[in-house]
Amino acid sequence: MAKVGFIGLGNMGGPMAANLVKGGHQVQVFDLAEAALLAAEEAGCTRAASATEAAQGADFVISMLPADKHVESVYLGDNGLINVLGENALAIDCSTISAATARNVGLALKAKNISFIDAPVSGGVGGAKAGTLTFICGGQEADVERARDVLQHMGKNIFRAGDVGAGQVAKICNNMLLSVLMVGTSEALQLGIAHGLDAKVLSEIMSKSSGSNWTLDVYNPCPNVMDNVPSSNGYQGGFLVDLMSKDLGLAQQAALASGAATPMGALTHNLYRSWSQLGHGREDFSSIFNYVKANTK
């Protein structure tokens, strides 16, 4: 059993911390929101009065925070974790943030002999609840191996993409590709529908042909082609347009920093931002199907 400090108990962090308790770990938690703390207490976690208190004496500290600025301030701010973590502690940031910020935090902690890995996740809220997340880690091999002790209770697949920051790069590469596939699938389906084809029949044909891909085969964006997907549930549940838009912004930032050409990624970033600005930010990202539809004569 390990002593774990867990910071950030939102849609993802709450169920992740609960799964660590189920895995037999002692989990001390902190969040700015009272409701999140109460839910974590009900799941068997112990409440702390601050992030630093949650991390006192911990073997592992796990953070699951909204964005770069939150991660920076929790680790490196005036009352940051950097001041309390022991040399034997391993810090694991599971938030989706820029690779540059992950590297900055990692370097600052390393200067104090504190180990750090970035470990963003794929699998969404459903995966967090079921304990089936995929962790995409960046860090030294020995640190990623050590992290398995706790990550295995929250996820099924644990990958090491490279050194600190590499987990964030691999995660945004995946989500950029996913968005391109989602927009392409939506366009193909809308083109067929505009010519009178049945979306179910067209989906089956493309699934068994060279256009087959995850967004078509298991997460179809056209309502009522499949059961149990957000498109057949008013685009509720799943992965928010706003979160996809955030990840695509991180991908564009990374592309600028490296000079990599990402024309399709830039296009899907614009499409998702516009869709969000039109009031669809809280819908599942497959609702981009309706953006394509709205632009069809």
Q: Determine the size of the site formed for ligand NAD (CB under 6 A).
A: 26
Compare residues 59 and 284 and give the one whose CB is closer to ligand NAD.
284
User: What b/e readout covers 260-279, taking b as 16+ CB neighbours within 10 angstroms?
Assistant: eebeebeebbebbbebbeee
- Strand 115-118 and strand 90-93: the pairing is parallel
Establish if 206 lies at the interface with ligand NAD (CB under 6 A).
no
Query: Of these, 33, 107, 218, 294, which contacts ligand NAD (CB under 6 A)?
Result: 33
Compare residues 33 and 218 and give the one whose CB is closer to ligand NAD.
33
Establish if 8 lies at the interface with ligand NAD (CB under 6 A).
yes
22 catalytic residue (yes or no):
no
Helix (H) or strand (E) holding 207: helix 199-207
- 124 to 143, contacts with ligand NAD by CB under 6 A? 124-125
How big, in percent rounded to 5, are the helix, strand and coil portions of the chain?
55, 15, 35
Establish if 176 lies at the interface with ligand NAD (CB under 6 A).
no
Establish if 190 lies at the interface with ligand NAD (CB under 6 A).
no
Instruction: Say how far apart CA 210 and CA 181 lie, in whole Å.
Output: 13
User: What b/e readout covers 172-187, taking b as 16+ CB neighbours within 10 angstroms?
Assistant: bbbbbbbbbbbbbbbe
Q: Which stretch binds ligand NAD (CB under 6 A): 26-34, 185-193, 199-207, 280-288?
A: 26-34
| C-alpha closest to that of 155 among 173, 136, 141 | 136
Establish if 219 lies at the interface with ligand NAD (CB under 6 A).
no
* Contact positions vs ligand NAD (CB under 6 A): 7-13, 30-33, 36, 51, 64-66, 70, 73-74, 95-96, 121, 124-125, 239, 243
